[in-house]
Amino acid sequence: MAHNDSPPDSLDSLFAPQGTGALDAALPRRRCIPVLLPVALDATYDYVLPDGIEAEPGAFVTVPFGRQERLGVVWDAVPDDEADSIPERKLKAVTSRLDLPPLPALSRKFVDWIARYTLSPRGMVLRLMMGAASAFEPEPPRFGVRLVDALPASAANRLTPGRRRVIELAGDGLVRSRPALAQEAGVSSAVIDGLIKLGTLVEVEIGPRRMPQPVADYAVPELNDSQAETAHVMRAAVDARNFSVSLLDGITGSGKTEVYFEAVARCIAAGRQVLVMLPEIALTSGFADRFKARFGAPAAEWHSTVGQAERGRVWRAAATGEARVVIGARSALFLPYQDLGLIIVDEEHDGSFKQEDRVTYQGRDMAVVRGSLGNIPVILASATPSIESHVNARNGRYRHLRLLSRFSGNALPDVTPIDLRVDAPEPGKWLSPTLVREVVANLANGEQSLLFLNRRGYAPLTLCRACGHRFQCPQCTAWLVEHRFRGRLNCHHCGFTLPVPDKCPSCQAAGTLVACGPGVERVAEEVKQRFPQARTLILSSDLTPSMKDLREILAMITRGEADIVIGTQIVAKGHNFPGLTMVGIIDGDLGLGGADPRAAERSFQLLHQVTGRAGRAEKPGRGYLQTHLPEHPVMQAIVSGDREAFLDREIGMRQAAMLPPYGRLAALIISGSKKPVVEEFARLVARHAPEARRVEVLGPAEAPIAVVRGRYRTRILLKAPKEFDLQTYLRAWLGGLPKIQGDLRLQIDIDPYNFL
């Protein structure tokens, strides 16, 4: 391997020149094979292949494991570990091989890479890749219907008009699925069932449903000059068939989606697969419809609301290559693509790409890793790219593609600060006089307004006026949030809930409970009081739990069926509301503060994205930013629109403090039910930290939310220079620790995004 300064397990190493290793080098034929199981184990286990079963690396096999039969994957043998392996006769035998395409060599390499990088057991990463149980079960047979060969004479007597239509249609002799035939004939499924009973239609088994195939040039848009130029560069990146990362940095409404669809089209035309990763919530915003309009067929979807059977189908179709384009949340990265040619990460700055539980990984970064392993282009798109991506663009690792104007020709909305210290709302109210005036003006013009507050529920704190009792979660260090709409107090960390009591549980006084501070429901209450004639809608994840409801509410807003929308961050992401011309931020300061090094960056992204919802169509938009800190750099950046100045400052600060991407971070989170035990173990962990120059071990310190779900938590933060091999250091550290006892848990978070 070529010399470079990057440790092998770093993202930087992806950009170092490398030799090309053949992936599927032929292995010596042996009847003893290593199998990786999707459980919390790093090691593979050796099994013997009995006569009559062939299984190459990647094959899905069932093996005896403990007392169970388990599904696993034949892994790649390491050449020299045969020497000390157990003699073949002592090994258990593989039970069966599944009739599925093998897990591709690239996917196996990806498992190994992620496991090494995140310090997770390989089995847990493999589990991510097997995220569709139904893919491993035989597909249930599908039946269609066709007209019987010899139509019984009796059939003719009972012909309702519906039945006649069905028979006429089926007269062509083709086999159709029941729903398809019912729909085509415009009858209910009962009519079809009736004809089956009569023997007029017969059921026949049909093969699995085929994925519709997107067509590259189905509806090609006319691009403006800068769009066309950018599309050209991206098409060339697809044609080059090698690893590159492009940062598509375009203001909201500039047509980023339209433009990267051209890269998608190129990849489809080349017969290769495409993955478009989106934050879960953005998948609701009509993206799928937009895809279908452009390519004439839907993409395969992969996210939390896709049903089990469909997951299995998509998994298999990714493996066979039948699924040409997959649009999905971060876990779509782990599908067994047969020939992936392009990855797009839209809204690349979005925090939801980071997975926090089990295998903690940053989906955007892992997309870049996957691109590098597969030697394919990656496109990261955003109107507010992450600091990490900006730095990579500035130092030339990423190709920086910019779209500086909106397709509609409108300017970005002007944002006016509202200093809450001067322009204060009345007590118990949250809209300043200026903001009220602007809502009135918008209502008078028949235009839509959005009031944004990134806080669910009615009020973040409830207390008793008589005795001062505050409602706290019994299992977490957190206040209970009142959700007045549901009449409950909820913990946002563990899901604990209780009905709002009529008496104070502490002093038994009645009618003394008061809500402190606003949530969206409380703002909505104020709006309804002030503007009783206006049509208002609240958009908050707890009020619209299903994607279907959410889609419907978004569609209502798009159609202009609401005058005032009150929403949490759910409204910020990628939605296109043509009638929306005014955005009011209720509390711009909410995301600042705390120990999170990315707090300013995130606030900037969120506020910019929210104000960017205004004026996307014909009419220009404007924004109002209520804040107690008008001189704060984030507020200044939002108001002045001077993003570069903000970036310079933020990047300078990261560099000075050796924070990402100029330094590397890892968090060790130690938790358990007993505080003294956790604290003692955490101190012991810290004492075991190996000596290393320029590595800082900070803590242990109590986590800001010290108790979650009854578990006490303490954190150790590791800070190292960028070139430092953090993983090797951590492996040495963890290797020297005594075995973890009882209910203690030690969780490693490489590149942490959550500091709570």
**Which one of ligand ADP, Zn ion, none interacts with residue 407, CB within 5 to 8 A by kind?**
ligand ADP
7 binds ligand ADP (CB under 6 A): no
Pairwise CA distance, residues 32 & 607, whole Å: 58
The single residue among 15, 113, 407, 624 that binds ligand ADP, judged by CB under 6 A, is 407
Strand 45-48 and strand 497-499: the pairing is unpaired
**Which one of ligand ADP, Zn ion, none interacts with residue 223, CB within 5 to 8 A by kind?**
ligand ADP
Minimum distance from residue 634 beta carbon to ligand ADP (Å):
21
The single residue among 144, 194, 250, 328 that binds ligand ADP, judged by CB under 6 A, is 250
Q: Which residues contact 584 (CB under 8 A, 6 or more apart)?
A: 431, 435, 438, 439, 449, 450, 451, 452, 623, 624, 626
Minimum distance from residue 705 beta carbon to Zn ion (Å):
9
CA distance readout (Å), 565 to 95, 103, 315, 387, 568? 58, 47, 38, 31, 10
Minimum distance from residue 494 beta carbon to Zn ion (Å):
3
Bridge partners (DSSP) listed for residue 584? 451, 624
Binding piece for ligand ADP, criterion CB under 6 A, among 34-42, 247-255, 520-528, 674-682: 247-255
The DSSP-derived string for 407-448 is TT-PPPPEEEEEETTTSPPPTT--S-HHHHHHHHHHHHTT-E
611 binds ligand ADP (CB under 6 A): no
Residue appearing with tokens 């990423």: 398
410 binds ligand ADP (CB under 6 A): no
To the nearest 5 percent, what fractions of the chain are helix, strand and coil? 35, 25, 45
Cβ-closest position to ligand ADP: 255
Binding piece for ligand ADP, criterion CB under 6 A, among 2-10, 248-256, 371-379, 626-634: 248-256
Q: Which residues contact 548 (CB under 8 A, 6 or more apart)?
A: none
221 binds ligand ADP (CB under 6 A): yes
The single residue among 254, 384, 603, 627 that binds ligand ADP, judged by CB under 6 A, is 254
Pairwise CA distance, residues 492 & 515, whole Å: 16
295 binds ligand ADP (CB under 6 A): no
Minimum distance from residue 221 beta carbon to ligand ADP (Å):
4
Q: Considering only CA atoms, which of 139, 53, 521 is closest in space to residue 320?
A: 139
Minimum distance from residue 391 beta carbon to ligand ADP (Å):
22
Pairwise CA distance, residues 325 & 265, whole Å: 10
Minimum distance from residue 551 beta carbon to ligand ADP (Å):
17
Q: Considering only CA atoms, which of 727, 707, 709 is closest in space to residue 718?
A: 727
Residue (409 or 501) nearer to ligand ADP, CB: 409
575 binds ligand ADP (CB under 6 A): no
What letter would DSSP give residue 139?
A: P
Instruction: Give the SS3 label for residue 367.
Output: helix
Minimum distance from residue 637 beta carbon to ligand ADP (Å):
19
Residue (177 or 477) nearer to Zn ion, CB: 477
Q: Which residues of 447-463 are buried (b: 16+ CB within 10 A; e: fewer)?
A: bbbbbbbbbbbbbbebb
Count of H-run helices and E-run strands, the chain:
19, 32
258 binds ligand ADP (CB under 6 A): yes
Minimum distance from residue 351 beta carbon to Zn ion (Å):
21
Residues near Zn ion (CB under 5 A): 473, 475-476, 491, 493-494, 496
194 binds ligand ADP (CB under 6 A): no
Residue (223 or 494) nearer to Zn ion, CB: 494
253 binds ligand ADP (CB under 6 A): yes
Residue (255 or 630) nearer to ligand ADP, CB: 255
Pairwise CA distance, residues 550 & 284, whole Å: 7
Minimum distance from residue 293 beta carbon to ligand ADP (Å):
9
Pairwise CA distance, residues 175 & 129, whole Å: 36
**Which one of ligand ADP, Zn ion, none interacts with residue 221, CB within 5 to 8 A by kind?**
ligand ADP
Window 297 to 316, contacts with ligand ADP (CB under 6 A)? none
223 binds ligand ADP (CB under 6 A): yes
**Which one of Zn ion, ligand ADP, none interacts with residue 476, CB within 5 to 8 A by kind?**
Zn ion
Is there a contact between 713 and 707 (Cβ–Cβ < 8 Å)?
A: yes
Hey, what are 221's tokens?
A: 């848009």
Q: Which amino acid appears at position 500 of this protein?
A: V
Residue (214 or 253) nearer to ligand ADP, CB: 253
Residue (257 or 372) nearer to ligand ADP, CB: 257
**Which one of Zn ion, ligand ADP, none interacts with residue 683, CB within 5 to 8 A by kind?**
none
Q: Which amino acid appears at position 97 of this protein?
A: R
Residues near ligand ADP, by CB under 6 A:
221-224, 227, 250, 252-258, 407, 576
